[in-house]
Structures are given as structure tokens and as C-alpha cells.
Structure 1
Amino acid sequence: MKKLPFMMLAFCLATPTFAQSTQTSADLVKTAHYRHAYQSMTTLPDWVTRATATSSPAETLKQNGKTYLVGHLCKPHDCADNQLDVVFSDKDKATWGLLSRRYGKTLYQMPLGEPDPDTLAALTASYNKNNPDDQVK
């Protein structure tokens, strides 16, 4: 009989942990508590979405029999740490990008628009051309 209070206490202590483990990440994202923070995390920087950036003239790229325009943008007054390279396909009306952000000495890059390997190579080449000291491979 002495075991019963101990077992009830153990069950009560374990119940909150069990309840927390049943929530999926998708469930948490939909809650009022996390919805705004999640949306903020998944939003591109304002200088990217509004194209309020410093930029250079786009260059023509011929690849696999198609013609593309390749451009480079950066955040005004913070170009070294915030850049976006873009490939525009006039025929397909498609666009792909490579968002590059530096925090301290660490460079983080995120492809945008699901570029194929050749397009990603063109984006990386554009980044390297505009950042000869970095030379990301």
C-alpha cells in the first residue's frame, strides 16, 4: 500500500512531460504563442522583399542553350554582410536567388526558389565574382 502514493506521485510528475511530447512542431507553429515568431523567422529581410538594395547592372548568361540575366544586390550600408545574387529566366518567367548573410566571420548562404545545380553554380559564381576574398566553392 505504501507504493500506491509513490506511484501516483510519479504518474502526476510524468503527465506534463507526456503532454508536451505529443505536440508536433506543426501544431506549435499554429498556436497563438508561436505563430508570429514563426512567421518572422520565415520572412525574408525587408531589403530583399522590397528590392530596396544597392545593385549593379545585370549580366547576360548563356547556359544549356538558354539565356538568363544574373544580378547582384546588397543591403544598403551593410553590403559586406547582406547580399543576394539573382538569376532571372525571361522565357520561363522564373527567378532563383542565393541569399548570403555573414555573422561575424561565418558566412551563411540559402538558395531561394529551388535552383537546379547549374543555376546554383551560376549564383555561387556571381557571389564569388562580387566577393573575390571569400571564394565560396
Structure 2
Amino acid sequence: MKKLPFMALALCLATPAFAQSTQTTADLVNTVKYRHAYQAMTELPDWVTKAAAVSVPTETLKQNGKTYLTGHLCKPHDCGDHQLDVVFSEDGKATWGLLSRRYGKTLYKLPLGEPNAETLAVLTASYHKNNPDDPAK
């Protein structure tokens, strides 16, 4: 009778090993079967990459002794649900963005260009300035 609990425990511990795949996520992404879908998922929309968007005049911002330009873009005919706020370094060597996309009543914001906390705050403030009545602040 003592063997039954021991065998049950051994089986429970071994089960995850049987269910686990040896293929990593990166391996899977690089297979012919999944590569195209993965690349499509990671692409930014054309209105963002080509700046084929409705936009506002840029504004100058001074932050920590440096000068930046801020701007706002949105997808034509769907500005409420597709927006991009942008901060450009004055020398043109760096740019950061905040891509905002609404699905139903939920607003998702994706930082682009790895902005630091201060720059992300500027991007968020730009979003709020261009969306003063947005309840999803």
C-alpha cells in the first residue's frame, strides 16, 4: 500500500516534463510556419511608419537643459482610437513615442524608443493635452 502514494507523487512530478516542449519561443518564431505572422504582429501600422496621418504643429519643450520638439499624430478618419505622441531630440539623433490604441472602451498605450520616465511623462502629457475629454486618462 505504501508504494501507491509514492508512485502517484512520482507521476505528478514527472507529468510537467512530458508536457513541456523542447522548442523555444524564439525557435518557433523563426520557423516558416510562424515567421510571417510574428513579423506582422510586430510591425507598426503604415500611418505611423510613413507618417501618413493627421497631425498638429510641433511645440518646443525644454527639459533638463535640453531642447526637444513634441508632436501628435493620428490615423486619418479614426483619430479617437489611433494616436501617436512623439518627442524628438533637437539634434535629431533620438525620438520617442507613445502609441495609443483603443479597443472598445479600453485604451492601450505602448512606449516606443525606450523613453525614460521623464520623457514618458512628457508623452503622456501630450496625449492628455490632445485628448482633454478622454475618460481613460
Q: Under TM normalisation by the shorter chain, which class is it?
A: 0.7 to 0.9
Counterpart Cα distance in 1 of 2:34 and 2:19 = 17
Which position in structure 1 is the counterpart of 2:85?
85
Query: What is residue 122 of structure 2 aligned with on the other side?
Result: 122
After the TM superposition, which of the residue ranges 86-95 and 41-50 deviates more from structure 2? 86-95
| 8 Å Cα contact 1:57-1:71 kept in structure 2 | yes
Q: Tell me, yes or no, if structure 1 residue 33 matches structure 2 residue 33.
A: yes
Alignment of 1:39-50 (within 5 A): 39-50=39-50
TM-score calculated relative to the size of structure 1: 0.83
Structure 1 unmatched ranges of 5 or more:
1-16
Residue equivalent to 2:61: 61
Runs of 4+ with deviation above 6 angstroms = none
- In 1, the alpha carbon distance for the partners of 2:81 and 2:106 equals 10
Letter in 2 for 1:96: W
RMSD, aligned α-carbons:
1.7
The letter of the residue matching 2:120 is: L
Cα deviation, residue 93, structure 1: 1.6
Match of 2:40, SS state, is helix
How many equivalent residue pairs? 121
2:21 aligned residue: 21
Determine helix, strand or coil for the equivalent of 2:107: strand
CA distance in 2, matches of 1:134, 1:97: 19
Q: TM-score, normalised by structure 2?
A: 0.83
Q: 1:33 to 1:43 in 2, by over 3 A?
A: same
What is the deviation of 1:94? 0.6
- Sort the Cα spacing of 1:83 and 1:98 in 2 relative to 1 into closer, same or farther, 3 A: same
Same amino acid, percent of matched pairs: 78
Counterpart check, 1:109 vs 2:106: no
Superposed displacement of residue 136, structure 1:
5.8
AA in 2 matched with 1:99: L
Shift in alpha-carbon separation, 1:83–1:114, aligned structure 2, 3 A:
same
Gaps of 5+ in 2: 1-16
Asked if structure 1 preserves the Cα contact closer than 8 Å seen for 2:107 and 2:136, the reply is no
